[in-house]
């Protein structure tokens, strides 16, 4: 493989592997710094959060939340929502316990039930449009298989030039040794 082709090949694989690493950090690495990642599946918060966006959510003390803050919370065991707080409602018996009246920015009506503070996951800190489509795809078959195949392909791309150059070097070494054995050295 010529040096120019090898440089182009190395640059190409570097860009692909770099993109894969960045994608992995955006999808899974955020957890290392304490963020949870969710995909926006409905338009209830448009235009703030578009369908298909990834939102990164950090933990928050529910007692610090105010009207106008956006929160991500559990609606039930299987459903997570992100809506804006319309009103903080203190408990009638215990003022240290609060609930939150919420509403999606694109919704006309407030949500049907109050959100208890123990259901608060956190508050979104930033979002990446459209990346949620990729995240959802690679979390379910056949996307899992595509992601694994892409990883194997990138691995091969990274080492393919070395495989070809090792083969070439091995042949050169064999020729070089055979020539040395057959020809006497003369030092003068």
Q: How many residues does the chain have?
A: 188
CB atoms within 10 A of CB 68: 8
The C-alpha atoms of residue 185 and residue 146 are separated, in whole angstroms, by 57
The sign of the dihedral angle between the CA atoms of 72, 77, 78, 79 is negative
Q: Which of 2, 42, 149, 166 is labelled catalytic?
A: 42
3-state secondary structure of 120: strand
3-state secondary structure 124-183: EEEEECCHHHHHHHHCCCCHHHHHHHHHHHHHHHHHHHHHHHHHHHHHHHHHHHHHHHHC
Whether 38 contacts 72, CB under 8 Å: yes
Under DSSP, the state recorded for 104 is -
Q: Quick check: is 44 catalytic?
A: no
The C-alpha atoms of residue 51 and residue 40 are separated, in whole angstroms, by 5
- Residues catalogued as catalytic: 42
């Amino acid at each position: 493989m010529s040096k120019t082709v090898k440089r182009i090949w190395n640059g190409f694989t570097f860009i692909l592997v770099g993109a894969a690493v960045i994608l992995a950090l955006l999808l899974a690495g955020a957890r290392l710094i304490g963020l949870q990642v969710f995909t926006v599946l409905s338009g209830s918060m448009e235009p703030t959060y578009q369908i298909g966006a990834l939102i990164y959510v950090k933990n928050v003390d529910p007692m610090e939340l105010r009207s106008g803050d956006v929160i991500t919370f559990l609606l039930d065991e299987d459903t997570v929502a992100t809506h804006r707080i319309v009103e903080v409602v203190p408990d009638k018996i215990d003022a240290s316990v609060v609930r939150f009246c919420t509403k999606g920015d694109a919704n006309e009506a407030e949500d049907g039930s109050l959100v208890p503070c123990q259901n608060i996951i956190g508050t979104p800190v930033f979002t990446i449009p459209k990346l949620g489509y990729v995240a959802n795809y690679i979390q379910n078959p056949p996307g899992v298989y595509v992601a694994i195949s892409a990883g194997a392909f990138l691995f091969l791309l990274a080492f393919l030039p070395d495989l070809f150059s090792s083969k070439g070097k091995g042949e050169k070494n064999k020729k070089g040794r055979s020539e040395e054995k057959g020809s006497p050295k003369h030092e003068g």
